[in-house]
Structure 1
C-alpha cells in the first residue's frame, strides 16, 4: 500500500527567498520526488503571502493553496488575517484525517504549530506519525508538541529540489520504501533523470548552452577594433579566462540536476581549472556535477540537514573537482586542445584551399549525420577560445548558414510550387537574422538530389575560398554581422565567401526547380 502525506505550512520568512514565493513550483518538486518513492500527496494546506513573513502585517495579501482533484489550487487573494481563518478550517479537517489513519506522514515548511496548524500537529503527536520539515522555530515548536520529527533543517542554502529530496529521502527510509531521487532539468522528471547520473552527461547540450559566452567574447573583440573602443580588448581577454568557468558551471548544473547547488560546484571547479582551457573546464564541471549528486544523495540517506547537505554538495564537490582539474585534468586538457589547434593550422599551412574545400565538403554530411555538435562544435569553441574567431566557425557560417539561405531564397523567389515559398520564407529570414536554422533547407534538399548536390557544391566552393583567403570567423550570429567578427583585415573576404556560398546554392536550386522531377509509373 502506498503511503499518504500532507504538506502544511507557509511561504515563511527565509523560505520566501528560497522558493517559498512560488508555492506551485515548490509543490511540484515535492510531488515529483514523492511519486518516485510511491508516496502520495493527499492533502495541502499552505499559506502563500506576497512578502516574507518576517515581521509581516496581518493586512498583507496572501492566498491559501490547497489540493483539489490532484492539482494544487490557489484560492482568492485576501488579507493574511482572513487567510489564516480559512487555513484553520483545513487544520481541523487534516486533524480528523490523521486521527482516522488516512495520513501517514507530514511535511512541514515554516508551519505554525501554535496557530493555524495546531490541531494537525496535535493529531500527529497522538498518532506518532513521522514528520519532516524546515523552519528553525516552527520545527522546534513542533517537536515540543510531541511530534516525531525524523528530519529537520533550516532553509538557508536549500532549493525547492533539495528540500523535496531531503523530505522524501527521510520518509522513504522510515517506511522502507525504494526511492531514487528524480534529479534532472525538469521538475516533472524523466526516465533519464531517474537513471544513472552519467546518462545526464550531454556534451552537445553543454556546448550549445555555453555559446552565448563565446559570442559575447567575439563581439567584444570586434568592437575593440572600433576607434575609441580599444579598451574592450581587456574585456575580451577577461572573457577568455572566464570561458572555462562558464562551461564548468553549465556542465555541473546539467549533470548534477541540483540547480544553484550544481552551479556553485561548477564555478568553484571551473575557477580552479582555468589553466586547462575550455576542455579542462568542461571535464572539471562534469566531475563536479557527478560528485555533487552523489554527495547530496549520501547526505540525505544519512539524515544530514538540508542546509549542511547543500553546502557539502556544492562546496566539497567543487573543491574536489577543482583540485583534480588543477593538478590532473588541466595539463592534459591544455595539451589536447593545443594539439587540435596545431593540427588545424598544419592542414591550413599545407594547403589552405584543400583544407577549406574538404571542410566545406564534409560539414553537411556531419550535421545531417549528427556528428557536428559532437565533433565540430567543440573544435570551433577551442579555436575561439584563444583568438575569438575560428576557421571552422567561418566554414559553418558560409557552408551551412549561407547555403541554407541561398536554397530557401531560391524557393521564395522561384519555387517549384507556390506552397514552397511560404515554407521557405521563415527559414531564409531566420538564417539571415540569427545565423542559424540550417534545417530550413532540409525539405528541399531531401526531396531533390540536385538541390542536395548543389548544397554540397556551394559549401565546398565557399570552404575553398575561406581557406584560400585566410578567413576566420564565427557562426550563431546575425549573418550581416558575421563579416565584422572576422579576423582583422578579412571582413570583405568573409563577405565574399558568404555571398559566393549563397549565390551557388541559389543558382543550383533555381535550376533544380525548373527541372521536372522523375515520377515512378
Structure 2
C-alpha cells in the first residue's frame, strides 16, 4: 500500500474554492485515497479565517493533522497565522524525517510554503524524489524549481474539492501503476452503483428535484392574473424557457456528481436544449453528466493542468451534449412532450368527468404501488411546462392531498384510539399547510379496509369534480394557495372540499363502526 502525506494551507484563491472549509477539503482527498487503496500517512495543513492573499500575521488560523489509528482529522492548534506557522515548523521537521526514512511514497501539496512552514518536508521529498502532486501556481512553481518529482501541477482556478482530489489520485495512481476508480458520492462508503454514471440516471429523481422550478412557474402564472400585475406574463414566458435549463442542470449534477463542474455542464447543455422542452433538457443534462466523467478522466490521464481539466470537463461536455440536442434531438423531444399533452387533453375532451373519475380512482393505487413518482409526476410536469398548471396536478391535490387531510382530520376528531389523534395531527397540518405528505394517511388506510376503500372512492368523486369544472392546478403548495394557482378558482375549491369532506365522512363512519365492534367484542369477553 502506498502512503502519502498532505501539506499546505487554505491558500489565497484556494480559500474561495474549498479552503474555507478545510475539513471538507481534506475529507474529499481522504475518501479518494481510500478508493485508490492509498494510505494517508500525515497531514499538516494550516487553515486561516480568510484568504492568504489578504491575511496578516494576526489572522486567526487552525492547524489540522491526521490521527493514523483512529482515521480522523484532528484540530491540533489554534492561534494567529504567525503562531500556526511556527507550530507547523516543528511538525514539518518530523515529517521530513519520516519522508527520509522511506515510509512516505508521495506528497500532496496545496498552496504550500516551500520556503517557510513546509520547507523541510519539501526538501526531503526532493531528496527522495517521491512523487508530488499539487495546486497553487506560485507554490508549485517554487517546488518544481527545487528539482522535485512533480507528476501533476496546476493552479486552483476553476477547481473544486472533488475534482482536485480525483486529479491528485488519478495522477499518483497512473504514476505508480495502480488501478483507481473515483468515488462519486458523499463518503468513502459510496456503493458501486454510485461510481457508475449510467446507473445514476434516475428520471424520477431528476423530476422530483426539479419540482420547485415548476411551482415557481405556477406562482408567477397566478400573480400575472392579478389586476396590475399582468406584466408578469412576460416573466412566465421566460420561466417556461428556463425549465429545460433547470432540468438539465439537475440531471447533469445527479449523473456526474462532480460538484460545480457538472452544474456548469448541465446549464450549458440546458441552454442549448431549450427548443426541446423539458425532455430535451433532460436528455442534454444526462448527456452532459456522462461526458463530464469521461472527459475529466481522460484529461487527467493526459496530464492536463487541473484548471484546464475542469474547463474542458464542464465547458466542452455541456457544449457537446447541448449541440447534439440542439441540432438533432430537439424536434423529437419537443414532439414527445406534445404527444403526452395531446393524449391528456384528448382524454379530457372526450369526457372530462370520466377522465377525472378514472384518474381519481387510480391515483391512490399508483402512489402506493410506486408508479406515481415514476409515471404520473413526469406527466404533471410536462403539462405544467405548457400552461403552468395541470389536469393530473389538480387530481393530485384533490384526490391525494385533500383525501389524506380528510382521513387524518377524522382521526383527530373521532379516532378509534386516543393515541391515533396524536399521529394524525402532524399529517393533517402538513397536508393543509404544504400540500404534501399524503403518506400520513397510510397507517389508517392499511389498518382499516373501510378507510382504504373510502379513500379511493373519495378520490374518484373529487377527481370527477375536477372534470366537471375542467380544473387545472397543482399540489405541493399550501391548500389555501392552490386555488389561486388554478385556472378555475371556485371549481378547484369545490373539488378540494369534496375530497376532504368525503374522506372525512367515510373515515368517521369507519372509525365509529370499528369502535362499536371493539366494544361489543370486549362485552362478549367479559360476559
- TM-score of the two chains, using structure 1 as the length reference: 0.97
Per-residue deviation, residues 252-279 of structure 1 (Å, max 9, x unmatched) = 1111111111111111111111011111
Kindly indicate whether the alpha-carbon contact (under 8 Å) linking 1:408 and 1:440 is maintained by their aligned counterparts in 2: yes
Contact 2:472 2:486 in 1 (8 A): yes
Query: Within 2, Cα distance between the matches of 1:35 and 1:500?
Result: 57
Give the secondary-structure state (helix, strand or coil) at the position aligned to 2:113.
coil
SS for the counterpart of 2:514 is coil
Q: Is the aligned partner of 1:485 residue 2:485?
A: yes
Retained in 1: the 8 A contact 2:356–2:463?
Answer: yes
Contact 2:184 2:195 (C-alpha < 8 Å) held by counterparts: no
Note the residue ranges of structure 1 that are not aligned, 5 or more in a row. none
Output the CA distance in 2 between the equivalents of 1:217 and 1:77: 49
Corresponding residue number in structure 2 for 1:397 = 397
Could you say which residue in structure 1 is the equivalent of 2:496? Answer: 498
Give the equivalent residue in structure 1 for 2:257. 257
Q: Separation in 2 of the partners of 1:56 and 1:460?
A: 66
Deviation sequence 1:189-245 (CA, Å, 0-9, x none):
511454321011111111111111111111011111112111111111110110000
Whether the 8 Å contact between 1:182 and 1:193 is mirrored in structure 2 is no
Greater mean alpha carbon deviation, residues 457-466 or residues 508-517:
508-517
Q: Deviations over 1:405-443 (max 9, x none)?
A: 001111111111011011110011000111000111111
- Match of 1:152, SS state, is strand
Q: How does 1:77-226 map to 2 (within 5 A)?
A: 77-184=78-185, 186-192=186-192, 194-226=194-226
Deviations 1:359-415 (A, max 9, x none): 111111111111111111111111111111100000000010000000111111111
User: TM-score, normalising length from structure 2?
Assistant: 0.96
Q: Distance in 1 between matches of 2:419 and 2:113?
A: 64
Deviates more, 1:295-304 or 1:240-249: 295-304
1:231 paired with 2:231, answer: yes
Does the Cα contact within 8 Å between 2:404 and 2:438 map onto a contact in 1?
A: yes
SS at match of 2:370: coil
Q: Is the 8 A contact 1:109 1:135 kept in 2?
A: yes
Q: Aligned residue for 1:54?
A: 53
SS at match of 1:515: helix
Q: In the alignment, which residue of structure 1 is the partner of 2:321?
A: 321
Distance in structure 2 (CA, Å) of the matches to 1:54 and 1:195: 37
- The alpha carbon displacement at 1:74 in A equals 2.2
Q: How does 1:396-435 map to 2 (within 5 A)?
A: 396-435=396-435
Asked if 1:36 is matched to 2:35, the reply is yes
Q: Residue 473 of structure 1 corresponds to which residue in structure 2? A: 473
Report how far residue 516 of structure 1 moved.
2.9
Is contact 1:183–1:193 with CA below 8 Å preserved after alignment? no
The alpha carbon displacement at 1:3 in A equals: 1.3
Q: Distance in 2 between matches of 1:334 and 1:56?
A: 53
The corresponding residue for 2:356 is 356
Q: Distance in 2 between matches of 1:75 and 1:127?
A: 28
Q: Where does 1:277-288 land on structure 2 (aligned, <5 Å)?
A: 277-288=277-288
What is the aligned partner in structure 2 of residue 516 from structure 1? 514
Structure 1 Cα separation of the partners of residues 54 and 193 of structure 2: 40
| DSSP-derived class of the 2:104 partner | coil
Partner SS state of residue 151, structure 1: strand
2-structure distance, mates of 1:119, 1:317: 42
**Segment drifting more, 227-236 vs 306-315:** 227-236
Q: Is contact 2:35-2:188 (8 Å) kept?
A: no
- The gaps in structure 2 that reach 5 residues or longer are none
Q: Is the 8 A contact 2:182 2:195 kept in 1?
A: no
Number of residue pairs aligned between Structure 1 and Structure 2: 517
Alignment partners' CA distance in 2, 1:303 and 1:33: 18
Change (3 A) 1:461 1:194: closer
Deviations 1:97-132 (A, max 9, x none): 111212111100000111111100111112111110
**Separation in structure 2 between the aligned mates of residue 160 and residue 406 of structure 1, nearest angstrom:** 48
User: How far apart are the structure 2 equivalents of 1:454 and 1:387?
Assistant: 32
Identify the residue that residue 74 of structure 2 maps to in structure 1.
73
Q: Counterparts of 2:76 and 2:207 in 1: how far apart (Å)? A: 43
| Inter-partner Cα distance in structure 2 for 1:391 and 1:336 | 18
Q: Contact 2:224–2:230 at 8 Å: present in 1 too?
A: yes
Cα pair 1:364 1:456 within 8 Å, conserved: yes
Contact map agreement 1:192 1:199 (CA 8 A) in 2: no
